[in-house]
Chains A and B, each alone.
Chain A
Amino acid sequence: MNASLKKQLTEPLWLRVVLITLTFLFLAALVGLPIVIVIIEAFSKGWGAYRDALTQPDVISALKLTLLVAAIAVPLNVVFGLAASWAIAKFEFRGKQLLITLIDLPFSVSPVISGLVYILLFGAHSMMGDWLIRHDIQIIFAVPGLVLATIFVTFPFVARELIPLMQEQGVEQEEAAVLLGANGWQTFRRVTLPNIKWGLLYGVLLCNARAMGEFGAVSVVSGHIKGETTTIPLYVEILYNEYNFVAAFAVASLLLLLGFVTLAAKKIVSRQERGQHGH
């Protein structure tokens, strides 16, 4: 291709500079400044105030609760994601497209509604409310409700990472393993899992970030009892509404860190994935 034609295939220099500058300005204002202000506000009263804010007993218990909820919700959705992607990617059956759409459904439901549906099922005025009260089982305004709402909002993450990946890989390798005498579990562990590990890891990370950071759905079912049903994001709201801004931003900085770790892990995973596919 000659040089003048090549030149005509891109924009003139001034236009490129303008477009790149706009990109920088837009991202700096919309994404960069919020990051910076969280850090600055968190440390605005110094390192001591930051440390004090993070070592309050209520923060520690909120942190433990957040970890507990994620530790239940994420593994369940991983098992589901693996089962769903195995059935959908390795076999042909009627209604497959509908099933994929239904798996994505929680993404298009407002988080507030994701919490509301469990109140309607298990709350004091609900269909099962009387029975639950008689048997002294509390789901809403307690940990089980937080876990259910979190499972709902993070439901599709692992499945939707794995389904396209496993569809792309086909069934030949697994079929060969089975024909050579491997059983189902061996086939999955030795053949499928090594092929999908990076996609799986990425799905788990996204699922975990949302599980630990979810606000709307858990807010509706939480009851906001300090030290008992308050997760880290809910605790940020409580501190903020009490005008305790330094503490609110200090606790928020933990969640910012979670976001950074997720983004960094995504970078590593996508690099590994490219390496695995050999381009």
Chain B
Amino acid sequence: MKSSSTVLPGFRLTLAFTILYLLVIVLIPLAGLFVRSATLSADEFIAAVSAPRVMASYRVTFLAAFAAALINAVFGFLIAWVLVRYKFAGKKLCDTLIDLPFALPTAVAGIAMAALYAPDGWIGKYLAMMGLQIAFNPYGIVVVLAFVSLPFVVRTLQPVLQDLDKDIEEAALGLGATRAQTFWRVLLPHVAPAWITGVTMALARALGEYGSVIFIAGNLPMVSEIVPVIIVSKLEQYDYAGATAVALVMLLASFALLLLVNVLQGWSARRMRA
């Protein structure tokens, strides 16, 4: 198995421990999910994962996560650009705040957002005057998902923008391109792989989120109920088989996204070297 001829000790021990720990904590428990689903007949499985309330939750979860990822695609790019390219007062504070969603427990974000966007909250009050309601419906879900997935796009784009050679832009200008042309034709294609990777990571994070969503969503069946809430409510009714079946669908969707992120990162790395 070992192919290099290093003199360093500890390979067998550390690799064996790594694999054992991975098996016990992650792989065997996840395999249990597949085993448990297999105890359902195909008809039972399909009935469990395609009930109308479950189908509605896929739709709500995916659309809200997608909307949040799109918001971050736009603002994440803007923020990364501003932080890398411009000098201004308060820049360090902005840069630090980007990481808060990683550091702040999701339940705190959930109750804070619910308080802000409730019809009598600081923001909800003004939205209510305009006839808009954010809390206790799918829009509220979008807001908290945009919060929890904020760092991904910014943090994937920042290093790429940082490393971008100014020479390319100078060359484009020297060849007579306008600033706008340089941006669209030269800069954007260069950072696109990292950008798309960040957006996909944000989407993956948003799809599985639970803690922050439950406070603001209202969790109304068919309207604002996300897939993790369905899983939890099935568990509370001791419907373990049903919970497992829905969880399996969700897990496979996450794995598909993970695979996509890996492919995109490979593409991005090749782009960076080229």
Contacts and interface: CB of A to CB of B under 8 A. Distances in A.
Contacts of B36: 120
Determine chain A's interface SS by DSSP, over half rule. helix
A91 B6 contact: yes
B105 A179 contact: no
Contacts of A179: 7
Contact of B210 (A88, A111, A174): A111
B85 interface: yes
B14 A83 contact: yes
A27 interface: yes
B170 A1 contact: yes
A5 B173 contact: yes
Contacts of A24: 90, 94
Interface in B1-28: 1-4, 6-11, 13-15, 17-19, 21-22, 25-28
A213 B21 contact: no
Given A92-B2, A108-B257, A19 B78 contact: yes
Interface string B89-112: 010001011111111111111011
Contacts of B146: 30
Nearest to B11: A91
A278 B26 CA distance: 38
Contact of A11 (B14, B123, B179): B179
B164 to A, nearest CB: 12
A259 B26 contact: no
B191 interface: no
A37 B116 contact: yes
A212 B105 contact: yes
Contacts of A3: none
B33 interface: yes
Nearest to A103: B22
B247 interface: yes
Interface in B133-155: 143, 146-147, 150
Interface string B216-229: 00000000000110
Interface stretch (A46-54, A55-63, A130-138, A248-256): A248-256
A113 interface: yes
B254 A120 contact: no
Interface string B146-171: 11001000000000000000100110
A188 B11 CA distance: 13
Contacts of A32: 97
A15 to B, nearest CB: 10
A213 B104 contact: yes
B210 A216 contact: yes
Contacts of A92: 2-4
Name the residue in A35, A259, A266 with the highest tally of chain B Cβ atoms < 10 Å from its Cβ.
Answer: A259
Contacts of B109: 34
A101 B33 contact: no
A121 B34 CA distance: 12
Contacts of B10: 86-87, 184, 188
A65 to B, nearest CB: 15
Contacts of B169: 9
A91 B104 contact: no
B113 interface: yes
A127 B32 contact: yes
A23 B255 CA distance: 33
Name the residue in A88, A110, A118 with the highest tally of chain B Cβ atoms < 10 Å from its Cβ.
Answer: A110
A193 interface: no
Given A16-B86, A112-B231, A33 B8 contact: no
A213 B106 contact: yes
Given A31-B101, A102-B22, 20 more contacts: A23-B94, A34-B113, A34-B116, A38-B111, A84-B18, A87-B11, A91-B11, A106-B26, A108-B255, A108-B258, A109-B30, A110-B250, A117-B33, A155-B26, A171-B8, A213-B105, A214-B105, A216-B106, A236-B111, A255-B108
Interface of A: 1, 5, 8-11, 16, 19-20, 22-24, 26-27, 29-35, 37-38, 41, 79-80, 83-84, 86-88, 90-94, 99, 101-106, 108-113, 116-121, 123, 125, 127, 148, 151-152, 155, 171, 174-175, 178-179, 183-184, 187-188, 206, 209, 212-216, 219-220, 233-234, 236-237, 240, 245, 248-249, 252, 255-256, 258-260, 262-263, 266-267
